[in-house]
Amino acid sequence: MKLKLIIWLIGFSCVFATGLHAQGLMDLLDETEEPVTEYTYATFKTTRIVSGQSIENPHSGVLLFVISHRFGRLNTGAYELWGLDQSTIRLGFEYGVNDRLALGLGRSSFEKTYDGSVKYKILRQSSGARVMPVTLSVFTGIYVNSLHWREPDRENYFSSRLSYAGQLLIARKFSNTLSLQLSPTMIHKNLVETERDPNDIYALGIGGRFRLSNRITFNAEYFHLFTRETARNFDSPILLGFDIETGGHVFQLHITNTQPFFERGFITETKSNLFEGDIYFGFNISRAFTIRKPKL
């Protein structure tokens, strides 16, 4: 009986000592483990805040198909069925080449415009080993107006159809509820209305999102024009909307004072005043398709 008790005590002591030794090694490893960089994600629900670019890109290997539709002005009255008889539409594709680079291609009914774009994420908001307070992306776009020439009998140049956009997108996710973004912008037009009109137009975009629930956010955008064309009286665009996430879709409902969906159009060629009842209702639908699975 004493022999059994001695053997039991020895075995229990060995197990207890082994546990203490293992715990001591784990504590040592925890103390020597280097801090990890934690990157911020889902600053916005999709690649656009409303119509303006957000710092978000499609995931690597993902093709995003975006349908954008905007009706006519609500104050056109019953004859136009409060804008339902008129519409502007854009069909676009955006592809995530990798975690930082995205390419875009689209076509709008507004001025029959084709557009191509490149967006690259330079910095990512992070904490931990590397602290970065904001996410910084650069966006460039090219736009081709394919309307028939106003004066086809004179010599016209293809370069006159071209315009360009360049933007810095600076965003910070302050919490799971609030994200804000600044978008310094320059638009260049090869052809302008008169000699007095500037070819380069500068603007500053301010946008943000406020989360109402896990699947719904309220979004807003405003672009202030520092440079204005003299020949035509354009207003600054104001865009308000809701993002509704439904599985593989993000459904965006919005009201605004601008018709176009592409940067050169809605930033520099907004013809309506929101506070005078010139309100356009529209929506965006985004659908993601996985073209190439990421490597494990």
- Asked whether the predicted pLDDT for residue 4 surpasses 80, the reply is no
- Asked whether the predicted pLDDT for residue 182 surpasses 50, the reply is yes
- Asked whether the predicted pLDDT for residue 95 surpasses 80, the reply is yes
Average of per-residue pLDDT values in the chain: 86
Which DSSP symbol is given to 153?
A: T
**pLDDT value, residue 129:** 87
pLDDT digits (tens, 9 = 90+) for 225-242: 998 776 667 888 999 999
Domain ranges of the chain: 1-33, 37-290
| 270/279 Cα distance (integer angstroms) | 12
Residue 280 near residue 255, CB atoms below 8 Å: yes
| 30/26 Cα distance (integer angstroms) | 6
**pLDDT value, residue 33:** 66
**pLDDT value, residue 209:** 96
pLDDT digits (tens, 9 = 90+) for 22-64: 444 445 445 556 788 899 989 999 999 999 999 999 999 999 9
The fourth-level CATH superfamily of domain 37-290 is: monomeric porin ompg (2.40.160.40)
Reported as type and span, the H/E element at residue 179 is: strand 178-189
| 209/217 Cα distance (integer angstroms) | 6
Contacts of 295 (CB under 8 A, 6+ apart): none
**pLDDT value, residue 15:** 39
Pairing of strands 238-246, 216-225: antiparallel
- Asked whether the predicted pLDDT for residue 145 surpasses 50, the reply is yes
